[in-house]
Structure 1
Amino acid sequence: MPNLGDLELQVMEVLWRTDRAMSVREVLAELTRDRDLAYTTVMTVLDRLSKKERVTRELDGRAWYYRPAESRATLMATEMQAALVGSPEQRREALKEFADQLDPEDAALLVELLGARVSR
């Protein structure tokens, strides 16, 4: 997802794994299982994600609690759509190239989904 940096994506992955809002400290605890990070670093990343409207936050006492603003699938679809810029011919070329790079299972799923969409 080009709109997110590596650490931003890791923070989002932590938030997507749960259905509840998480504090900075809880996100930090999940992230520091694999690496050292400062509390302020995670706080800054969550603040940036809030400003990008990728997470929502609510104040509970003195602590902010964060949750994803959208699902992983919705974010990915939005990013894919945003990448389709240019003329209709350029978009068609890009979509053809994308389809050519799909593995057979994903290609079959895409054909199935598009078929269902056309038959509506």
Structure 2
Amino acid sequence: MAQFGELEAAIMDAVWDAGRPLRVREVLDRLDRDPEPAYNTVHTVTEILHRKGWLAKEKDGRAYRYGATKSREEYVAGLMDEALSVAGDRTATLARFVQQMQPGEAEELYHLLGQAKAREASE
């Protein structure tokens, strides 16, 4: 999984933050970029994200609306998995990652691991 480019990330953030499919014009209106990219540029990158499987498109009159096919959390989890796949020692990398967590995050991770272990035991 490759990391999004700068404009791809901004477009995905706009769609994720909206929580609903958007027209290209709506995406452009939500981008906080200086200088503002051209409509055609946003349309092209939106179509690229659609071809990559990150956005679904549905007809809306003469235009299309684009909605996320995966959540922001799924995207980040994929990046984390990719990062771990290049680590020489996954366990050491995970340990270092956990050491850098805030206390509340570590507690939440411990809770999630307990849930996963319980699910695994019940299967």
**Superposition TM-score, scaled by structure 1 size:** 0.85
Identity %: 37
**What does residue 79 of structure 2 align with?**
79
Q: Alignment partner of 2:89: what SS? A: helix
2:85 and 2:33 map into 1 onto residues whose CA distance is: 37
Q: Which amino acid aligns with 1:24?
A: V
How far 1:27 sits from its partner (Å)? 0.6
1:11 and 1:39 map into 2 onto residues whose CA distance is: 12
Mark the runs of 5 or more structure 1 residues left unpaired by the alignment: none
Q: Which amino acid aligns with 1:49?
A: L
2:78 and 2:86 map into 1 onto residues whose CA distance is: 16
**What does residue 21 of structure 1 align with?**
21
After the TM superposition, which parts of structure 1 deviate over 4 Å for at least 4 consecutive aligned residues?
none
Q: Alignment partner of 2:19: what SS? A: coil
**What does residue 44 of structure 2 align with?**
44
**What does residue 102 of structure 1 align with?**
101
Mark the runs of 5 or more structure 2 residues left unpaired by the alignment: none
Q: What RMSD, in angstroms, separates the aligned Cα atoms of the two structures?
A: 2.1
Q: Deviations over 1:32-56 (max 9, x none)?
A: x553221011111111211221111
Q: Which amino acid aligns with 1:82?
A: E
How far 1:59 sits from its partner (Å)? 2.5
Q: How many residues align?
A: 118
**Superposition TM-score, scaled by structure 2 size:** 0.83
